Structure 1
Amino acid sequence: MLYILTVCLGIIIGLIMKGRISNLAEIKIKKVWLIILAFLIQAVARIIGAKGIQMPAESAIVIQLAVFLLMAACFWFNRYYSGMVFIGIGYLMNTVVMAANGGRMPVSEKVLAATSISHFIDNIKTGKDIKHVIMNSGTKMKFLADIIPIPGFLGSMMQVVSIGDLVILVGIFILTVELVTGRKIFGTNDRKQDFGADDIK
């Protein structure tokens, strides 16, 4: 829900800034297949974990490294957008804490237990969820972990987030505004006043 609301807010602000919805149809993010491939890798890994198939401990690190490289490449190709830079920074923050904890994102058991998805605790502890790990005394960089609860309907799709996730949301908002208005929010439009389909394909 947070992602949907963020995009909707970005569209509204973009329109207030004299942007056009039609601009969205003209935009083509460079190398978008890199992001699609990254999500497919994560999806397959989660399906395998959900089926109870045990994977080597090192697999989490390998998977996250592959996903990181794919995402980082896409962010680099689209770095002209201010919003994409923020998304990249947020994703890097998440990747750093995961790399420091065996390739998995630490999550607060206390915070998770207070949500409607508390049943995921068992999945994490049994290894079915290969993306997360319950925080403990040995967890590194706890401040970057999933420790922030999202209340009410706002958390209907992601009830516990990290600082990196919030930075990503800021990036999505900025990127949406940029796409609707056809211009950068930060910096100058040194490549084109209006970056449309001819600019990013």
Structure 2
Amino acid sequence: MIITAAILGLVLGLLMGGRWRSLLHKRFRLLPLLFSAFILSWLLSVHFFSDWLAGSDHVWLWRSVIAALQLAAMSFFLLVNRRKPGIWFIFAGGLLNGLVIIANGGRMPVGPAIDRFGEAAAAQINSVPHYFTASGHEPLLFLADLYPVWTFGTYMVSLGDFLIAAGVLWLGLYMSRPVRRKNRAAVSQLTS
């Protein structure tokens, strides 16, 4: 759903007079933090890392710490770039998702609506390291992936995902807009 929102935002931006070239001129500060957050998120989602952590007596703690580091890196990146359109929505959605993931040992609970997609989808949830089927007593369950969505596939999404998608759509619209740089000579004449 979030990727669909990003594509839709870019396409709408281009249809509204935006330019592909503008994508290359948009600047984000501290991009390594964003990449660090994605790497930490990826670690929580791959089997070999989960299998390696399984040898520890503190799997739940380690997964929670990694999720907290991922949330911190992403949050700091977003706060530094907060003037970009849509960033506050992405920040709010990421915070909601991060809180429920940290509270559940680095894994996102998935609600019973997953059954709408069939038995295979429900069975697959527990085979993925960073998700699990909720029993109904998990902390912050109201922030979990509870809502079924169909966008180029079937997904379970959370309230945080809806906020992230709205922010990404808005950011996508902004990304194709032409960059308007101030003429430094004109600015210096105005200020002198």
SS at 1:98's partner residue?
helix
- Counterpart in 1 of 2:125? 121
- Counterpart in 2 of 1:140? 139
Residue 60 of structure 1 aligns to which amino acid in structure 2? Answer: R
Matches within 5 A, 1:49-198: 52-53=51-52, 54=54, 55=56, 56-108=59-111, 110-115=112-117, 117-123=121-127, 129=129, 131-151=130-150, 154=151, 156=153, 159-182=155-178, 194=180
- Give how far 1:121 is off: 3.2
Normalising by the residue count of structure 1, what TM-score does the alignment of the two structures yield?
A: 0.76
Going from structure 1 to structure 2, the CA distance change for 1:180 and 1:107 (only over 3 Å counts) comes to same
Q: Percent identity?
A: 26
Instruction: Map Cα deviations across residues 23-71 of structure 1 (whole Å, 9 max, x no partner).
Output: 1011232111111112112223332457734152211110111101110
SS at 1:70's partner residue?
helix
SS at 1:96's partner residue?
helix
Going from structure 1 to structure 2, the CA distance change for 1:14 and 1:89 (only over 3 Å counts) comes to same
- Counterpart in 1 of 2:188? none
Normalising by the residue count of structure 2, what TM-score does the alignment of the two structures yield?
A: 0.79
Residue 149 of structure 1 aligns to which amino acid in structure 2? Answer: P
Alpha carbons 2:114, 2:156 under 8 Å: kept: yes
Gapped regions of structure 1 (runs ≥ 5): 184-193, 197-201
- Give how far 1:78 is off: 0.7
Going from structure 1 to structure 2, the CA distance change for 1:150 and 1:86 (only over 3 Å counts) comes to same
Aligned-residue CA RMSD in angstroms? 2.5
Q: Which has the larger radius of gyration?
A: 2
